[in-house]
């Protein structure tokens, strides 16, 4: 049975629950719900296992806080013996307009501390990621407040459909592979 590690980046704790920086957690919560599984505490992460057409998806939401996400990613890759091409990191991206998603097979951390830590812990940036655009509608010097801020009312209205789109992209990654998923989801 083929295994995949789907990682949603975010920060644990109720104060971060519905913030832009936690789109990875929100996406994995929706993926778990669609798969009828629940998260349980695990080492360095909340974890859940979902089955989809003969594949196992190991869902992790690191409990190490965003800036130390690599610790959880490295541990679960090794623990489950999952090759780098079978991991997908779901992360927020201020360089993309709100709601846009981009799936890449590799790349730089682009200044994102969660991706930076993953790259440091696994030794390279050659891993698949799904970037969810949160936009950059903030005054100069207010980036931290913006990404750790809550969604505005208009964003809240659009989020359910956008998160469902991300869930479908995660499922496609496991079923159809990176190339087909990029072709299908990067154009929308």
Sequence-ordered alpha helix ranges (H) in the chain:
23-34, 69-80, 113-122, 143-147, 153-176, 178-185
Q: Note down pLDDT in tens along the chain; length 188 residues.
A: 699 999 999 999 999 999 999 999 999 999 999 999 999 999 999 999 999 999 999 999 999 999 999 999 999 999 999 999 999 999 999 999 999 999 999 999 888 999 999 999 999 999 999 999 999 988 888 899 999 999 999 999 999 999 999 999 999 999 999 999 999 999 75
Look at residues 24, 22, 66 and name the one whose alpha carbon lies nearest to residue 44. Answer: 66
What one-character DSSP code corresponds to residue 14?
A: G
Q: How far is CA 107 from CA 63, 89, 111, 122, 130, in A?
A: 24, 12, 11, 14, 11
CATH code, domain carrying 8: 3.40.50.1470
CA 170 to chain centre: 9
Catalytic residue annotation: 21
pLDDT at 138: 87
Q: What is the pLDDT of residues 8-35, one digit of tens each?
A: 999 999 999 999 999 999 999 999 999 9
Q: What is the total count of domains within the chain?
A: 1
Assess contact for 1 and 56: CB atoms under 8 A: yes
Tell me the pairing of strands 40-42 and 87-93.
unpaired
Range(s) of the domain holding residue 171: 2-185
- Look up residue 42 and give its two tokens: 């695990």
Q: What is the pLDDT of residues 47-61, one digit of tens each?
A: 999 999 999 999 999
Assess contact for 124 and 77: CB atoms under 8 A: no
pLDDT at 129: 97
């Amino acid at each position: 049975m083929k295994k995949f590690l789907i990682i949603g980046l975010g920060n644990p704790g109720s104060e971060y629950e519905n913030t832009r920086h936690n789109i990875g957690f929100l996406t994995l919560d929706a993926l778990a719900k669609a798969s009828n599984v629940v998260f349980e505490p695990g080492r360095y992460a909340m974890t859940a296992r979902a089955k989809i057409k003969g594949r196992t998806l190991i869902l992790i939401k690191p409990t190490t806080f965003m800036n130390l996400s690599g610790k959880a990613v490295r541990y679960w890759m090794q623990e489950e013996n999952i090759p780098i091409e079978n991991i997908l990191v779901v992360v927020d991206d201020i360089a993309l307009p709100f709601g846009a998603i981009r799936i890449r097979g590799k790349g730089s951390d682009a200044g994102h501390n969660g991706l930076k830590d993953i790259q440091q812990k696994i030794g390279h940036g050659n891993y698949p990621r799904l970037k969810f655009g949160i936009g950059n509608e903030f005054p100069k010097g207010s980036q931290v407040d913006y990404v750790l801020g809550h969604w505005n009312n208009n964003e809240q209205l659009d989020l359910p459909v956008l998160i469902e789109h991300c869930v479908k992209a995660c499922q496609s990654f496991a079923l159809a592979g990176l190339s087909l998923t990029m072709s299908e989801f990067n154009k929308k």
